[in-house]
Amino acid sequence: MQNTIRILEEIQKLDIEIHSIEVEEKNYLTKIEEAGAELKRLEEFRAKVASELSELNALLSNAQERIRQGVEKIQKTEKRISEIKNTKELNALNKEINAANKAKKLAEEETERIASKLNDKKTLLDEKDSLQTLKDSEQVQLAKDLEEKKGLWVSRITGKRRLKEETASRIPPDIYKKYENIRAKRAGIGLALVKNEACQACNIHIPPQVYILLKKGVDELMTCPHCHRILYVENNAKQPV
């Protein structure tokens, strides 16, 4: 049975290596998906900022037009001074000029505020454009790396699966089937080391009688009462009963 356990260790080592390769491939695919999602968010945000820029430019044009109209009105009103006949008309004219100047000043202040916002939005847009270019480049590189690695991953997995089959042929089919069934239900781990009288897979102490049988090396598979993985001791000579 000890020889069977050693072979199961070899099989589990191959299973872990195969899983590691599969995880590496999955991580690449996840990174590509995340990069694509981020690019989409950047594109949507950029479109939003571009729309805001368009609105601000329209507001700026409107404010500038009001300034132009204000200047024109002030100039026309001031030209009428020579036509003034009395104090009442002068006061009315001054009132018009003051109102026009106030409207012009308000339009100028609004222009400054809009121009400041425009500058901020343009800076933000430039930053997002740079980030979008960078992320697009990263996504392209990830996709390129994925294509280059695919062949290697397939080759390595195929080789390890072939070796696993060859190794599995050295133990009874029913034992191999039991290992596979346990592995399928226990996160890919079907074999668990016992150390300090505890299963190292679930970190729970096993019953003393189970540990004693393991130490004796009985001709039957012992499983953890808690996680149900196949148990083994690494070195009988080093673990006192």
How do residues 23-37 score in pLDDT, each as one tens digit? 999 998 998 899 889
The CA R_g of the chain, rounded to the nearest whole Å, is 40
The predicted-structure confidence for 96-127, as pLDDT tens digits, reads as follows: 888 888 888 888 998 999 999 899 989 988 98
Output the pLDDT for position 235: 60
The CATH number of 2-168 is which of 3.40.50.150, 1.10.287.1490, 1.10.10.10, 3.90.1580.10?
A: 1.10.287.1490
Instruction: Please tell me the distance from the alpha carbon of residue 220 to that of residue 173, in angstroms, as a whole number.
Output: 14
Helix (H) or strand (E) holding 198: strand 198-199
pLDDT greater than 60 at residue 236:
no
% of residues, the chain, pLDDT over 90: 41
Instruction: Please tell me the distance from the alpha carbon of residue 143 to that of residue 237, in angstroms, as a whole number.
Output: 52
pTM: 0.66
Tokens 């009315």 appear where? Answer: 92
Instruction: Please tell me the distance from the alpha carbon of residue 225 to that of residue 183, in angstroms, as a whole number.
Output: 15
Output the pLDDT for position 241: 33
Instruction: Please tell me the distance from the alpha carbon of residue 194 to that of residue 36, in angstroms, as a whole number.
Output: 45
Grouping H, G, I as helix, E, B as strand and the rest as coil, residue 232 is strand
Write out the two tokens for 26.
């999955």
Task: Work out the pLDDT band at 216, boundaries 50, 70, 90.
Answer: confident
- Tell me the HSE value of 43 on the side-chain side, using a 13 A CA sphere: 8
Grouping H, G, I as helix, E, B as strand and the rest as coil, residue 204 is strand
Write out the two tokens for 109.
């202040």
pLDDT greater than 70 at residue 239:
no
Residue type, 104: K
- Tell me the HSE value of 209 on the side-chain side, using a 13 A CA sphere: 1
- The strand order across the sheet containing 198-199 reads 204-205, 198-199, 191-195, 230-233
Q: What is the pLDDT averaged over residues 180-205?
A: 94
Burial class (CB in 10 A: 0-12, 13-18, 19+), 110: middle
Task: Work out the pLDDT band at 50, boundaries 50, 70, 90.
Answer: confident
Write out the two tokens for 13.
């080592």
Number of helices followed by number of strands (H, E) in the chain: 4, 4
Task: Work out the pLDDT band at 218, boundaries 50, 70, 90.
Answer: confident
Of 197, 191, 196, nearest to 221 by C-alpha is 191
Average pLDDT for the chain? 89
Count CB-CB contacts under 10 A for residue 144.
10
Least confident of 3-17, 47-61, 162-176: 47-61
The CATH 1.10.287.1490 domain(s) of the chain lie at 2-168
